[in-house]
Amino acid sequence: MKRNLIAMALLLMLGTSAQAQHSKVVNQVDFSHVRITDTFWSPRLDRHATVTQPTCIDQIENQTARIKNFINAALVGQPGVGELRHSGIFFDDSDVYKAMEGMAYSLINHPDPVIEAKMDEWIAYIEKAQQPDGYIDTYYILMGLDKRWTDMDRHEMYCTGHMIEAAVAYYKATGKDRFLKICQRMVAHMQSLFGPGKRHWVPGHEEIELALVKLYEVTGNEDYLDFAYWLLEERGHGHGIGPNGPWNTRYYQDSVPVSQMKDISGHAVRLMYLFCGMADVAAYRQTNYMQALNDLWHDVVDRNMYVTGGIGQTASNEGFSEDYSLPNATAYCETCASIGMVLWNHRMNQFTGDSKYVDIMEQAMYNGVLSGINLRGDRFFYVNPLEANGTHHRQAWFGCACCPSNITRFLPSIGSYVYGTSDNALWVNLYIGSEATVAFSDGTVGVTMQTEYPWDGHVRLTIGSKMKKDLRMRIPGWCKDYTLTVNGQPAGKVTTDKGYAIISRSWKAGDVVELTMAMPVERVSADPRVKEDEGMQAIQRGPLVYCAEAIDNGGSYDDFTLTPVTQFTMCRMPGILSGIAGIAADNGRQTLRLIPYYAWDNREASKMKVWIKEQ
């Protein structure tokens, strides 16, 4: 308990410092101040702690050589040690770091001496492997330090970025700075080689940029912020090269300076991390990045995003192809890319106070991200197609395991996306049952949210103390009809702004706000330029996209057609797929049973489709 109080005080201090400098409209309420209590997310967080996290630890320690690479790297050059080789892919260090970030997050709300001891054990391995000049990357330590910094696409800075994120998370959770100092030594090594007047460098896989901003936020060292800005500005000037000369600038987001980018290209995850880094730097430096990010957002969302919030159409580049080309069976929609959509859209909402970004964040979270992990919490999708023939299944791990490790760091942090603050308002972005302590410059306010969302559109919000702030409740883009009451009476004058319903009044302890959103089943049509979905519709209810599995439908799976008179019935299914709410579509001749897209492939092998023929 004392540890949590220390961590909360540290986070409050850091948040106040940052808020004094940046120009964000909405400031995040960190998940360390939010306890999730609902029946949808709480079981997932419990399974994260009891199943997902142990699964990742076992894979890293026992099933693969990921932690062994660090142990071996520490032995290089010692007397009596023979030749040691790196095992796995050159960026496998990042899986260790992402798992460690998730472990650190879990410690904030769920202190566990076993997990903390495991973190300290792994940190010791990393520290021993670090070279005298500060360099740490097991691939090059084991394969030849003479080859380091010769290939911009060998992910040295990418791995460093994930190490920084893990170290910052652990510092916030425990106050221990040993891991942080390892990162600072590595960054000092990089800054000795790269920067104004030194060598050019364009990271092949973005990530270091946003991580350096996090390091700046906890240390106050502006050199880290300057380095992040310099790395972003290196793009688009012909500096990017691989081992065989100049690289494909479209794939690596290196065709033009980032402030001049207008259309998306290349690898989807890299692009998301680039946009996050641009937004983070723009929060502290005078840049012209925001106009570019706005143009790029429209290119992603209007022309290249699936109904699930997934992005990345093709496997060939793990990313984008042509506008409006959105094949379903071959959709890539990497789980990491959907997590990137959450991270980027969260930042865009903070800058603008516009709920349209939260709409996309929610769409990606409930569909594109959650589909990446099974209901038990121990198997993962890398690729998330919108149609399958029965042979695509989640796996226990991957040779390239970025998605499982990314899921394990994302899930325990979901509380960070629920609430926000500004000088004069409390913002409610996501409807997740929770208890929160929200800090303002003039004091703190307790908030309790009760809801069965996403199955039900009713939300009950209780204010725990006096508050002279506006309450801004997001009205999701899918919601066409809603009511708002305060203490059981109509809320009175309610204004709206950028998708938020605003209640302005002086609040007292015990005040109750109830938002009731109509949540009918909706038929969604694609843009007519998406030829793959011509003559078909998708089914959505609230934030959830639904799909049909052959296992539930027999002959109806292939033959069913949506007609103008098709009736939809929603029903809770307590004994199936963790109590989902399914939908039955009846066209008068046949019935098609649908389940939430995130829940598919949790039973026996079966065909699946999101888009259904319409008459």
548-575 burial, b if ≥16 CB within 10 A, otherwise e? Answer: bbbbbbeebbeebbbeeebebeeeeeee
Q: Whose CA is closest to 545, among 372, 386, 380, 323?
A: 386
Q: Return the pLDDT at 6.
A: 39
Is 90 exceeded by the pLDDT of residue 53? yes
pLDDT band at 65 (very low <50, low <70, confident <90, very high): very high
* DSSP 8-state secondary structure symbol assigned to residue 614: B
Residue type, 269: V
Alpha carbon 353 to its chain centroid, in Å, reads 19
* DSSP 8-state secondary structure symbol assigned to residue 199: B
Query: Could you give the angle at which helices 156-174 and 178-193 cross, rounded to 10 degrees?
Result: 150
Minimum mean pLDDT range among 76-80, 197-201, 439-443: 76-80
Residue 399, SS3? coil
Residue 545 bridge partners (DSSP): 540
- Mean of per-residue pLDDT scores for the chain: 94
For 248, 282, 333, 362, the CA distances from 291, given in Å and listed in that order, are 25, 11, 26, 23
Q: Return the pLDDT at 13.
A: 38
Q: Whose CA is closest to 421, among 467, 497, 472, 365?
A: 472
Is 50 exceeded by the pLDDT of residue 279? yes
Alpha carbon 386 to its chain centroid, in Å, reads 20
330/312 Cα distance (integer angstroms): 10
Give mean pLDDT, residues 150-162.
Answer: 97
Q: Return the pLDDT at 77.
A: 86
pLDDT band at 14 (very low <50, low <70, confident <90, very high): very low
Is 70 exceeded by the pLDDT of residue 340? yes
pTM of the model as a whole: 0.95
CB 382 within 8 A of CB 56: no
User: Which DSSP string do the residues of 452-493 spell out, in sequence order?
Assistant: -TTT--EEEEEE-S-B-SEEEEE--TT---EEEEETTEE--S
Q: pLDDT tens digit string along 557-578?
A: 999 999 999 999 998 888 789 8
Is 547 one of the annotated active-site residues of the chain? no
Among candidate residues 159, 336, 402, 479, the one labeled active-site is 402
CB 174 within 8 A of CB 7: yes
Residue type, 160: T
Residue 151, SS3? coil
Give mean pLDDT, residues 50-67.
Answer: 97
339/335 Cα distance (integer angstroms): 6
Radius of gyration of the chain (CA): 24
84/77 Cα distance (integer angstroms): 10
Length of the chain: 615
Q: Return the pLDDT at 11.
A: 39
pLDDT band at 535 (very low <50, low <70, confident <90, very high): very high
Is 90 exceeded by the pLDDT of residue 384? yes
Among candidate residues 116, 209, 318, 334, the one labeled active-site is 318
Q: Return the pLDDT at 246.
A: 87
Give mean pLDDT, residues 147-164.
Answer: 97
For 201, 251, 311, 351, the CA distances from 289, given in Å and listed in that order, are 20, 20, 22, 12
Is 571 one of the annotated active-site residues of the chain? no
443-447 long-range contacts, CB within 8 A, separation 24+: 445/469, 447/419
Return the H-helix or E-strand segment holding 218. Answer: helix 208-219
Q: pLDDT tens digit string along 397-415?
A: 999 999 999 999 999 999 9
Give mean pLDDT, residues 39-54.
Answer: 96
Can you tell me which residue has the tokens 């702030």?
469
pLDDT band at 245 (very low <50, low <70, confident <90, very high): confident
Q: Return the pLDDT at 80.
A: 86
